[in-house]
Chains A and B, each alone.
Chain A
Amino acid sequence: MTAARARPPADRLGIGPFVLLGATLVLLAGQAPSGLAPALVVVGVGLALSAAWRRVGRSAARGGEVVPVAVVLAYLLVVAPPNVVTEVLAGLGGVALLLWLGAGPDGAAGRWSRALDLLVVPLAALAIALGTTFILPSLPTSIGLATILLVAVMIGVAILLVRLSAGARAEAPSS
């Protein structure tokens, strides 16, 4: 027995998120101390590898396309000097990577543009982290990040509670 699977037509490359991710990486490359040209080469290679992997990759290797671009992003973030611009670009890079992952071949075309409801929470978390780091200059960066970890734990606990209550409802005998 075989199975036919269908979903709304997919956008294999995810052009919009891909452009956003590329632009963020290029801006981060501009912050690299080693100079723009070598960083741009690294960015170009990473983006090309990821795009090619996504386009021609087999289903068994699904998810692997994130590796080159994530490595490039991590490299640029590590070598970038810690300042307001790089930290904002880092947050933007995370969001762009998330959107590009969401626009993969097993997702529907245009879904990522409808993801605003979902993006509100991570963007708010990012805003809290950046706000507590920069608007309150007397506090160190770790305070902002600790706030975010606290938010993440709270969301995790909320999800746990919701799932437990849903499970209890499903197991309750119906009269």
Chain B
Amino acid sequence: MKDAARAFAEEATQAPRSPDLARPTLRSWLCYGVAGGLLVLAVAARTPVPLFAAVPLLIAPLAALLLAPSGRTPVALGWTEAGENTTVSISGAVTVPTTLDPRDLDLEIDIPAGLTQSAPLTLRTEGPSVSFSLSLRARDPVLALLALPRVRWRDALGLVQRPLPVEGSPLPIERCPLEANRLGTLRLDRTIVLPGETRSRALGDNGDFYGVRLMMPGDSPRRINWAATARSQNVYTNEFCLERTGDVLLLLDTRPTELGAAVDARLLGIARAAGLAIADGFLHERARVGLAVFGEFLVPTPLGGGRRQRYRIREALLGAQVAKVGGPSARAAFTARRFFPPGITTVVLSSLADESTRQLVLHLRRRGYPSIVLSPSPIASLEFAPSVPADEQTLARRLAALIRRHHVAQVWAEAPVVDWQDYWSLAGFSSFLKRGVRNRRLA
């Protein structure tokens, strides 16, 4: 209901869309231009001959507009994503109505930040559909949503074009860092019932088999143990044991930094992938994971477990964009208290490009959230123009490393920081987390 209301509100606030009408292309205007020139020339030279050449150039664009498909002609899209590690292979097909010739379609796909095109987009016409394939390369871990392609119809001479509505769903692409599954073996602080580092146990619908008990109102019929019921003449249901290792809060800092929009977007893409990998690792071990995306305001995904929670977290991460305006750090910590219990292990994903992250960690600590900062280093994604000499590039990298070290040292005063350089591996973060837990136990 809430989603429907949100969709209605978004639709109501959007400007009314103009109908997808056929429009003349540059080629049409060229035809008109040449025809106009010939008309002027005929009048100036007082000869009718150029007028005969102008006739087809004048009429053809008008005829193309007249013959263009009218009404709503949606095309159906089906696409999938395959590939491993850094390769992303996208293939699919666009099925067109019988009134259109699939050979007259153009296709355009927006490639999100973090992915590069490794082979050109190819089209192949098969009956009433156009199949396409696109090869991409993920240079960094990425969690992105491939928007619906733009499909355009053009007449045979390219005089008129018309966008066609596409029926389908966007395609999510997940390329997460490795070693994420090992994260779940860590025993986090239990924060649900009692303080301490003991593992909690909860009986419920999921987990390992624990025992049987008499069925009670509200129990799902799917949990009935038919063998026990048949033996005892009473209805028995299964109970499952869910062992939790603790709660984890992932806080994704999406505030804009002085690194610029392009670098911010790239680092956020990496942080999103890391967030999903970490969530995956802990959810796999039946911990509860929550997510907070902090841009101008804090957008929480409350603590939860299981596959549904993974889906919720993935959707929230996919929707996270670099905010236009950054909110004050105190707001994040203050709002977090309304949704997450204090004391849970908090992983802050931030680029540490400026002072604001230190403030954020400081306020989180004051509000009772022990934080660990996982910071994708912007130095690893530094790119220079080919005209910049090699020695200047080296110097720039050294300066950037010094600034980075200064920022990391500042944040270390408030919370431990993992300077994440190798984006495809979370081994450093994992081992750091284990070491940190052990040290706390010794203390």
With CB as the reference atom, state the residue of chain A lying closest to B17: A170
> Interface SS of chain A: helix, strand, loop or mixed?
helix
- Neighbouring A residues of B49 by C-beta, 8 Å: 77-78, 80, 82, 86-87, 90
Question: Would A82 and B62 be within 8 Å (CB), given that A91-B56, A101-B30 are in contact?
Answer: no
Residues of chain B within 8 A of A152, CB atoms compared:
58-59, 62
A residues 103-161 touching B (CB-CB < 8 Å): 104, 106-108, 111-112, 114-115, 117-123, 125-126, 129-130, 141-142, 145, 148, 151-152, 155-156, 158-159
Assuming A8-B123, A78-B49, A114-B101, is B108 touching A3 (CB within 8 A)? yes
Q: Which residues of B contact A106 (CB under 8 A)?
A: 158
Cα(A159)–Cα(B28), bound, Å: 15
Query: A91–B53 contact, CB under 8 A?
Result: yes
Contact among A95, A107, A158, A166 with B56 in the assembled complex (CB-CB below 8 Å): A95
Contacts of A158 in B (CB 8 A): 66
Q: A171 and B19: CB pair below 8 A?
A: yes
Q: Which residues of A contact B109 (CB under 8 A)?
A: 3-5
Chain A proximity mask over B120-142: 1 for CB below 8 Å, otherwise 0? 11110100000010100000000
B353 touches A (CB below 8 Å): no
Interface stretch (choices B34-42, B288-296, B388-396): B34-42
Cβ of A35 < 8 Å from any Cβ of B?
no
Given A77-B38, A102-B159, A158-B66, are A6 and B107 also a contact pair (CB < 8 Å)? Answer: yes
Pick from A90, A93, A145, A169 the residue with the most CB of B within 10 Å: A90
Interface residues on A, range: 35 or more
Asked if B104 CB lies within 8 Å of chain A CBs, one says yes
Whether B111 sits at the interface, judged by CB under 8 Å, is yes
Docked Cα-Cα span, A30 to B262, in Å, equals 60
A binding-site residues for B, Cβ under 8 Å:
1-8, 62-63, 66, 70, 73-74, 77-78, 80, 82, 86-88, 90-91, 93-95, 97-99, 101-102, 104, 106-108, 111-112, 114-115, 117-123, 125-126, 129-130, 141-142, 145, 148, 151-152, 155-156, 158-159, 162-163, 166-167, 169-171
B contact set with A: CB distance below 8 Å: 16, 18-19, 21, 26-27, 30-31, 34, 37-38, 41, 45, 47-60, 62-67, 70-71, 101, 103-113, 117, 120-123, 125, 132, 134, 154-159
Chain A to chain B contacts (Cβ below 8 Å), 6 pairs? A63-B30, A80-B49, A101-B157, A119-B60, A141-B48, A151-B59
